[in-house]
Amino acid sequence: MPNLAEETIPTDELTLINRLVVQNLALLNEKERPVRRGQHAKHHGCVLADFEVEPGLPDELRHGLFAEPKSFKALIRFSNGEARDDRKGDAHGMAIKLFDVPGDKLLEPCDTHDFILLDQPLFFIRNVPDYVGLFDALLKAKASIIPKLLFFMPRFAVELGLVYFSFLSDRPTELAILKRTVSSKPETPLATTYHSTTPYRLGPHAVRWSVVPAVADLAKFTSANTPDKLRHALAMQLGGGEARFDFMAQLQTDADSMPIEDPTQPWDAAKSPPRKLATIRLPVQRPDTRELMDFCENLTFNPWRCLAEHRPLGGINRARRQVYTAVSNRRHELNGVPSREPTLAEFLALHA
C-alpha cells in the first residue's frame, strides 16, 4: 500500500499520455473560427477577485501560497463543460488565476498560479488507461455512420449512446458520476460549490481543494430564460453586491480509503473535514463586457502552472499537463493569437 501523498506511476503511462494527446488534438474542431477550447469552451464572465490567505493558520497548513497571510489579485473564469445553452444540464467549471505570485512554477516561468475546479466532487474517469479508452470510444463514435443515419436525432446524443455501449456500460461507478456531472443546472455560478476532483500537494500533504460559496450574502436576481442565463445571473449579482467563497483543503489521512490514483473514489469528510485556507472576494463589477469576454477567450489554465508545494498528484493530473498544453498551443496557433500569460495591469485596465 502506498504512503500518504505517494503516487504510483505505471511503467507504460507516458506512452498512454502521448496517445491521449493525439486523441485530444483529433477531437479539436479546427474548422470553426475561432477554434474553441476542447472542454469548457463557453464562459460567463471574466471576474476580478481578491484571494486572501487566512491569518493564524496552523503550521501543518502553512505551505506555498498559504505560508503567510497575504492577498493576491485574481481572475476567475466560470464556464460550461460542453453546453452552449445554459438551461441544459452540464458540468460547470471555476478556473482561478492568481497574479503576482513569486517563485518558480512547475509548468513555465511566470508570475501567475492556476486552480481548476468543477461543480462535482469526483472525476468520472479512474486512470489514464481508462481515459484513453474513453477517447477511443469518442473518436469511433464521431467516425461512425450511425449518427448520419439517425439524422433526426441530436448528433451529440447519438454519439453519447455509442460511447455508452462501447465503453461505459460495464463501468457503473464511472457512469453514475458522469450522469451527475452532466445533469447539473445551476441558476447562478456564484451559489455553487466547486471541487478539484483530483489531489494536489499542500507541502508534504495530499489534499483535494474545494471552493464553497457564501450563499446568504449574494444579491438577489431574476433568472433569465435564455441560453446565456448564467452570464446574466453573474452580471446581475455582481452588479448589485459583492460575492464571497471559502477556499478549502481536505487532507488525505488514510492512503487506502483516500487514494491518490483513483479520483472516482470519495474522501470521507467525517475522517478529514475540509479546512479553510483563504477567502475569495468578488467586488461589485461588470464582468461580461465584450473586451473582458474576448480577453478571457484567449487565456489558458493549467493545474501545473503552480508552485512545487502545490504539485498536482495522480495519473489524471499527470496526463493533464501534456494534454492541456498541446491543445492550448494548437488552438492559439490556429486562431493566430500568441499563447502567453496575462499581466495584472492589462486585466485591471479592462475593469477600469
Q: What are the two backbone dihedrals, phi and then psi, of residue 290, each rounded to the nearest 5 degrees? A: -60, -40
Give bridge partners of residue 71 from the DSSP assignment. Answer: 52
Mean pLDDT of 154-180: 70
Quick: pLDDT tens for 170-187.
Answer: 889 988 998 898 889 999
Q: What is the pLDDT of residue 159?
A: 53
| Residue ranges of domains in the chain | 13-122+188-351
Mean pLDDT of the chain: 91
Cis peptide before 129 (omega within 30 of 0): no
Would the pLDDT of 327 be above 50?
Answer: yes
Q: What is the pLDDT of residue 9?
A: 95
- pTM of full prediction above 0.85: yes
- Residue pair 217/244 in contact (Cβ under 8 Å)? The answer is yes
Q: Burial-class residue 73 by CB neighbours within 10 Å (0-12, 13-18, 19+).
A: middle
Residue 319 predicted with pLDDT over 80 = yes
Between 14-18, 30-34, 286-290, the lowest mean confidence (pLDDT) is in: 30-34
Condensed to tens digits (0 to 9), the pLDDT of residues 49-104 reads 999 999 999 999 999 999 999 999 999 999 998 889 999 999 999 999 999 999 99
Residue 162 predicted with pLDDT over 70: no
Better-predicted residue by pLDDT, 223 or 283: 283
Closest CA to 142 of 153, 128, 158: 158
> Which segments of the chain are extended strands (E)?
43-53, 71-80, 92-98, 113-118, 194-195, 200-202, 205-213, 243-251, 275-282
Contact 110, 341 (CB under 8 A): yes
All three cell numbers of 30, joined, read: 479546427
> Is the predicted pLDDT of residue 146 greater than 80, yes or no?
no
Contact predicate 24/38, CB 8 Å: yes
Percent of the chain with pLDDT over 70: 93
Cα separation, 254 vs 239, whole angstroms: 44
Nearest partner of 210 among 286, 290, 269, judged by Cα: 269
Is-cis flag, bond preceding 34, omega within 30? Answer: yes
Class of domain 13-122+188-351: mainly beta
Q: What is the pLDDT averaged over residues 30-34?
A: 80
pLDDT at 7: 97
What is the per-residue pLDDT for 137? Answer: 81
Alpha-carbon distance of 304 to 104, in angstroms, equals 11
Secondary structure of 119-148 as H, E, C letters: CCCCCCCCCHHHHHHHHHHHHHHHHCCHHH
Q: Is the pLDDT of residue 125 over 90?
A: yes
Q: What is the pLDDT of residue 123?
A: 95
Cα 233 from Cα 155, distance rounded (Å): 29
**pLDDT of res. 114:** 98
- Residue 19: what pLDDT? 94
Least confident of 7-16, 28-37, 289-298: 28-37
Q: Which of 27-36, 125-134, 294-303, 307-316 has the lowest mean pLDDT?
A: 27-36
